[in-house]
Amino acid sequence: MKVYDRSSSAGLERIDEWDGGVGWFSHPEEAGRRASHAVRGSNGGVWLLDPIDAPGADELVGELGEVVGVAVCSNWHARDAGVFARRHDVPVYLPRWMDRVEDRTDAEIRRYDRELGDSGFRISRLDPLPGWREAVAYRESDGTLYVPDVMSSTKGTPVGEERIGLFLTARLTPPRETFAEFDPERIVFGHGTGCFEDASAALDTALDGARRRFPRALLQSGPEQLLGLVGAIRD
């Protein structure tokens, strides 16, 4: 099984449905489980988060409304942001501090600080490793939290009683301060399906025991996460 399937998608799998949002896998069989999301913004327009193209994606997004922006939330998630931005004639939004993506995106780039346009999302910067920068996005009005890379639900990432887990190296210095201000109703990810039941408790569990469970995580998924990291370099 490929970690990341770079071929054209044969069809999407619909995931993470809630009032005002939906996600999809463009390559449901890949081990890396890259997820894309469309979220209705505070003013009604639709925002795409780290999207990957697939047959049926525009129809799925269109159920929520008109696309007003594409947001890239990890410097390793250029993905198909430019494809969607050109198709819908909207900008690609990047945090002012995010590198790497602009060189890989053939579309208008719009830089911002902490507020993602009129989406209602406020972003917080994380630097899990040298050369890895991501924007965690949280919307207090409905408790939606989007985590691009550092945390996921993909097989092997959570260990023990965890329902979601931190990336292996992030377990050594869990970003508790960043996530302390959030009280999510739901958590959706750049990889894997979202967490919609007792999301805040799942987040606390993932952070509180992250370092203690590092040895178990290393044995359980160390090689797979290393392969995923190497594969992401091409994203």
Does 98 reside within a domain? yes
The answer for residues whose C-beta is within 8 angstroms of residue 28's C-beta and 6 or more apart is 12, 13
Does 193 reside within a domain? yes
Q: Does the structure show a pLDDT above 90 at 197?
A: yes
Which segment of 17-21, 167-171, 211-215, 230-234 scores lowest on mean pLDDT?
Answer: 230-234
Does 181 reside within a domain? yes
User: pLDDT per residue over 103-154, tens digit each?
Assistant: 999 999 999 999 999 999 999 999 988 899 999 999 999 999 999 999 999 9
Q: Does the structure show a pLDDT above 80 at 90?
A: yes
pLDDT band at 230 (very low <50, low <70, confident <90, very high): low
Q: What is the pTM of this model?
A: 0.94
What pLDDT is stored for residue 1 in this prediction? Answer: 66
Q: Which residues of 48-85 are buried (b: 16+ CB within 10 A; e: fewer)?
A: bbbbbbbeebeebbeebeebbbbbbbbbbbbbbbbbbb
Q: Cα separation of 152 and 163, whole Å?
A: 9
Print the domain residue range for 155: 13-232
Does 4 reside within a domain? no
Does 81 reside within a domain? yes
What pLDDT is stored for residue 220 in this prediction? Answer: 79
Domain count, the chain: 1
120: left (phi over 0), alpha (psi -120 to 50) or beta: left
Computed from CA positions of residues 136, 142, 143, 147, in that sequence, does the dihedral angle turn out positive or negative?
negative
- Domain of residue 74, CATH code: 3.60.15.10
For the chain, the average pLDDT equals: 93
CA distances from 39 to 42, 51, 53, 120 (A): 10, 11, 16, 10
Does 8 reside within a domain? no
CB 35 within 8 Å of CB 191: yes
Does 115 reside within a domain? yes
Does 2 reside within a domain? no
Q: Mean per-residue pLDDT for 64-72?
A: 98
Q: Does the structure show a pLDDT above 90 at 5?
A: no
pLDDT band at 31 (very low <50, low <70, confident <90, very high): confident
Q: Does the structure show a pLDDT above 70 at 64?
A: yes
> What's at 94, amino acid-wise?
L
Q: Does the structure show a pLDDT above 90 at 223?
A: no
